[in-house]
Structures are given as C-alpha cells and as structure tokens.
A and B are shown apart, each in its own frame.
Chain A
Amino acid sequence: SQQGEEDPQALSIQEGENATMNCSYKTSINNLQWYRQNSGRGLVHLILIRSNEREKHSGRLRVTLDTSKKSSSLLITASRAADTASYFCATDAFDMRFGAGTRLTVKP
C-alpha cells in the first residue's frame, strides 16, 4: 500500500482566514480521506472523496482531487481557533497509512 504525504508541515493563520493543505500520493487510488487530530486525541474522519469525484463539500470544508496529478487539497474556509489541529490524508488501502500531517494553528 502507499500513504499520502501532506504539505505544508505546518501552517499558521488568523481566525477568519482560509487554510489550504495538500496531499500527494504515488499510485492509483479508489478514494482519499481526510482526518483531523486534536492534540493527543484520536483521529476524526472529515471527508472521503472517491476517484471519480473532483470536488466535495462538507460545511466549511472543501476537498478537491486531481487524479492526473495524484494530489488532493483540503480547504477550510473562515477558520476558527477550534480548527487548530493536525490534518492527515489517507488513501484507500487495506492498511490505511497516514503521512506526517499538516499542523494547523489558527490564531484568535
């Protein structure tokens, strides 16, 4: 299996701004998932996008998938301090591996 790699490693923004983080992967996928982890807690599933989808929305989250570039992006609009967390992508696999994540800090 393979894992996604998130970029950037860290991102710091002001409350109200948008946050964009990216995920790249190396081989063909059936789907890609994004998860959030608050410090020291378990991961929480945010969104799953299938390979035949180009964009998906969930509340303030927008995920895009470009299978030709083997990349995905997660956009959080109108960020809040509560969005401060690490964000991980995972590609479909039996073993659901994660990258190192993007650590997002939203300053009030």
Chain B
Amino acid sequence: DSGVTQTPKHLITATGQRVTLRCSPRSGDLSVYWYQQSLDQGLQFLIQYYNGEERAKGNILERFSAQQFPDLHSELNLSSLELGDSALYFCASSPLTANTEAFFGQGTRLTVV
C-alpha cells in the first residue's frame, strides 16, 4: 500500500459527460502528479501541484482541469468526454517538488462508452 488513495477505482460513463477523479496523497506529501495511461502505452504526464499551486503542466487537454485543495487532496476533472479518453488515470504524491521518490495510487480506470 503506497498510502495514495484514488477514487473511484472504476468509472464507466458516456461520451459528452463530465467526471471527477479524486486523489488523496500520502500524509505529509505536498506534491501531487496526475498521469494518463492508455492501453499498453506509457504514462503521459498531465499536471503537477505543489502545496495548492500548479507547478508544471504537461499534455493536458483543455477539456481537463485539476486543482489541489488546502487539505492537499486533488481532483482531476474531465469534461466533454470522448471515447479516446478511456484510460487509466494515476495520481502520485511526493514530499517535495522534485528530486524525491514518488508514490503512486492504484489508478482510476475510466471507460467512456
């Protein structure tokens, strides 16, 4: 158990809908990262937050947004969903902004039908 909790574990929704994925980082970790992994693909970095502030942005679509709350949990919002958004979405946390080990959650499997 990494200490990072992602909910829900599975999500099935229709095209055009909006969903929210939630991540609770390890206790004390200030950094949260979000990744998307399509079938048999590598991890695409989406966005990073550190202590509530956006720190780095990757290949995140405009239809996607995220935030980190004062209690350090984070949410990834995906809207106007398309079939191609079906993927595993991972959250990771680390104590600092960089140069430290990251701990990954077990992911949310999103299926868009």
A100 at the interface (CB under 8 A from B): yes
Q: Which partner residue on chain A sits nearest B55 by CB separation?
A: A94
- The reply to whether B97 and A94 contact each other, CB–CB distance below 8 Å, is yes
- The reply to whether B33 and A99 contact each other, CB–CB distance below 8 Å, is no
Q: Which of A42, A48, A93 contacts B104 (CB 8 A)?
A: A42
Q: Given A45-B103, A95-B56, list of 17 further CB < 8 A pairs?
A: A1-B56, A30-B98, A33-B102, A40-B107, A41-B106, A42-B104, A44-B2, A44-B104, A92-B99, A94-B48, A94-B50, A94-B56, A95-B33, A95-B55, A96-B92, A97-B58, A98-B42
A43 at the interface (CB under 8 A from B): yes
Chain A positions within 8 Å of B, measured between CB atoms, are: 1, 3, 30-31, 33, 40-45, 48, 88, 92-101
- The reply to whether A31 and B99 contact each other, CB–CB distance below 8 Å, is yes
Chain B positions within 8 Å of A, measured between CB atoms, are: 2, 4, 33, 35, 41-43, 45, 48, 50, 55-58, 88, 90, 92, 97-107, 109
- The reply to whether B101 and A96 contact each other, CB–CB distance below 8 Å, is no
A98 and B2 CA atoms in complex are apart in Å by 19
Q: Could you say which residues of chain B place their CB within 8 Å of the CB of A1?
A: 56
Q: Which partner residue on chain B sits nearest A31 by CB separation?
A: B99
- The reply to whether A92 and B98 contact each other, CB–CB distance below 8 Å, is yes
Q: Could you say which residues of chain A place their CB within 8 Å of the CB of B97?
A: 94
Q: Which partner residue on chain A sits nearest B6 by CB separation?
A: A42
Q: Could you say which residues of chain B place their CB within 8 Å of the CB of A48?
A: 100-101
Q: List 8 A-B contacts (CB under 8 A).
A: A33-B102, A41-B107, A45-B101, A88-B43, A92-B98, A96-B45, A98-B35, A98-B45
A43 and B100 CA atoms in complex are apart in Å by 14
- A97-B99 contact in complex given A1-B56, A42-B104, C-beta closer than 8 Å: no
